[in-house]
Structure 1
Amino acid sequence: MSVAEPRRIVLFRHAKADWPQVTDHERPLADRGRTDAAVAGRKLADSGITFDLALCSTSVRTRETWKLAVHELAHRPKTVYEERVYEASPGELIAVLNEVPDDVQNVILIGHNPGVHGVTEILAGTAEDDAREWMNRRGFPAAAFAVVTHEGSWKTLEPGVATLADYWAPSE
């Protein structure tokens, strides 16, 4: 594939987690989270994006979110459970994305706030339609996702070079 073709990155926050007496890393999804993860998966399927790679935090809630969402997709991408995505800052998430091989066109990253919201804002120098306004109004609640496009290699992904193409959040 040519690096001039637009690449798509979906930045997907895990669905709503429960608060049992376990470590933060081991927190499972709440009932609402399981429902919202499946709905988000259907919305991702409706987007028509075929993912080549999924980068998922190792936490229980992100793995459960991805398992429920990917079930809704027509094509199951290669999934890498990446420890560095757990509690990552926007800069750390960009560093992970910079390592994606250039033969990968579309990536979904399943992670946590504030990193997922922050990296979306930092990468998106421009926005299509009212995607940024909608995201600014809603914030980045559990199970929300943003679609960011970028032209160039993964190594050139840096603040301000991408476009916020779409944003979705579950109903409150």
Structure 2
Amino acid sequence: MKRLILLRHAKAVPASPDLDDRDRRLADRGRSDAIRMGQFLKEEALLPELVLCSPAQRTRETLDLVLPQLFVTPIVRHLPELYLARWLTIVNLVRQVRDKADTLLLIGHNPGLEEAVKKLARPPGDTKTRKLHQLLGAEYPTAAVAILEFDVEMWSAVERGDGELLNFVRPRDLRGPD
């Protein structure tokens, strides 16, 4: 059994002409959301053994805020191919994982992450899964996380439409009342 956690980077400062997109840092809300999502992963025992992360500043900062919440030290790989990657690139990078890691955290960008989840998840079968798919179809906001499970022994066996969408959680789902 393999578990894939797809985390979109947390909210970044707005793009500007004098700042390269790769260098955009997290906004204040992004920092607090990243910590919150790390706490959620810990509470749900979703502890990665391997992390694949885009090299953009906002994805690296998201990772730097999530990891201390987990109290684990996974292997971390910053992959240039993940920067603004499309869904097929993301899926191919997952399939290329040769580590024995059963839980893989991938931190990247939209629209690629959302597309990857939609392509990898099997059609919804029950009410809970239908609701998760509806949430996912509405939007994949910053710092949102999708958790997919695959009944395979190796990452190379991950196929389109074979993943069970276990959960889709947005930061606002975890925030207390305003």
| Amino acid of the structure 2 residue aligned with 1:13 | R
Equivalent-residue separation in structure 2 for 1:113 and 1:79 (angstroms)? 20
Match of 1:118 in 2: 115
**Residue 8 of structure 1 pairs with residue 3 of structure 2:** yes
Equivalent-residue separation in structure 2 for 1:147 and 1:51 (angstroms)? 12
Equivalent-residue separation in structure 2 for 1:114 and 1:13 (angstroms)? 10
Larger helix percent: 2
What per-residue deviation string (whole Å, max 9, x for no partner) do you get for residues 25-74 of structure 1? 11110111111110111111111122110000000000000100111002
Equivalent-residue separation in structure 2 for 1:171 and 1:165 (angstroms)? 18
Gaps of 5+ in 2: 174-178
Q: State, as a whole percentage, how many aligned pairs show the same letter.
A: 32
The TM-score with structure 2 as length reference comes to: 0.88
Q: CA RMSD in A?
A: 1.5
What per-residue deviation string (whole Å, max 9, x for no partner) do you get for residues 68-121 of structure 1? 011100212111111111111000001100111151111000000000111011
How many residue pairs were aligned?
166
Match of 1:18 in 2: 13
Q: 3-state DSSP class of the match of 2:116?
A: helix
Kindly indicate whether the alpha-carbon contact (under 8 Å) linking 1:12 and 1:144 is maintained by their aligned counterparts in 2: yes
**Residue 57 of structure 1 pairs with residue 54 of structure 2:** yes
**Residue 150 of structure 1 pairs with residue 170 of structure 2:** no
Match of 1:67 in 2: 64
**Residue 38 of structure 1 pairs with residue 47 of structure 2:** no
Deviation beyond 4 Å, 4+ runs, structure 1: none
TM-superposed CA distance for 1:158, in Å, is 2.2
| Amino acid of the structure 2 residue aligned with 1:148 | L
Kindly indicate whether the alpha-carbon contact (under 8 Å) linking 1:27 and 1:61 is maintained by their aligned counterparts in 2: yes
Q: 3-state DSSP class of the match of 1:161?
A: coil
TM-superposed CA distance for 1:166, in Å, is 0.7
Match of 1:3 in 2: none
Match of 1:140 in 2: 140
Q: 3-state DSSP class of the match of 1:28?
A: coil
The TM-score with structure 1 as length reference comes to: 0.91
| Amino acid of the structure 2 residue aligned with 1:145 | V
Q: 3-state DSSP class of the match of 1:72?
A: helix
Gaps of 5+ in 1: 1-5
